[in-house]
């Protein structure tokens, strides 16, 4: 009797570990649910909206203008921020007046 109970317990533990590994890989490499914070994407995405983020396109396709990317907030690493891509590497920026956008923030 004890052997049967232990066998079932070990099988349950094995299945739990297997499904946990599958869920981890799915959320890490395929996509997951993310809560974005900040008003910068309004009205498309509101503050504290929950979105499904897929991770496959960053491996198979290049990021393009208009895409929405999710990143860790530099001020609070526990929260995520959502931003729309408006420029890519190599783009030229035309300004009409001097700006301090590109000054080093030390």
The residue count of the chain comes to 106
> 92 an active-site residue?
no
Buried b (16+ CB within 10 A) or exposed e, 78-94: eebbbeeeeeeeeeeee
DSSP string for residues in 42-77: TTTS-TT-EEEEE-SHHHHS---TT-EEEEE-SS-T
Q: Which among 40, 48, 57, 73 is annotated as catalytic?
A: 40
Q: Which among 48, 73, 83, 103 is annotated as catalytic?
A: 83
> 83 an active-site residue?
yes
Task: Give the list of residues 6+ apart from residue 46 with CB closer than 8 angstroms, or none.
Answer: 39
Expressed in angstroms, the distance from the first to the final Cα of the chain is 68
- Any idea which residues carry the catalytic annotation? 40, 83
């Amino acid at each position: 009797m004890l052997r049967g109970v232990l066998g079932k317990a070990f099988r349950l533990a094995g299945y739990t570990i297997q499904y946990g590994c599958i869920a981890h890989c799915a959320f890490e490499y395929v996509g997951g649910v993310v809560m974005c914070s900040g008003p910068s994407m309004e009205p498309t995405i509101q503050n504290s909206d929950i979105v499904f983020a897929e991770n496959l396109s960053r491996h198979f396709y290049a990021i393009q203008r208009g895409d929405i990317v999710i990143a860790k907030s530099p001020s609070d690493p526990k929260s995520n921020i959502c931003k729309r891509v408006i420029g890519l590497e190599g783009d030229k920026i035309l300004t009409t007046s001097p700006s301090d956008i590109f000054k080093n923030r030390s």
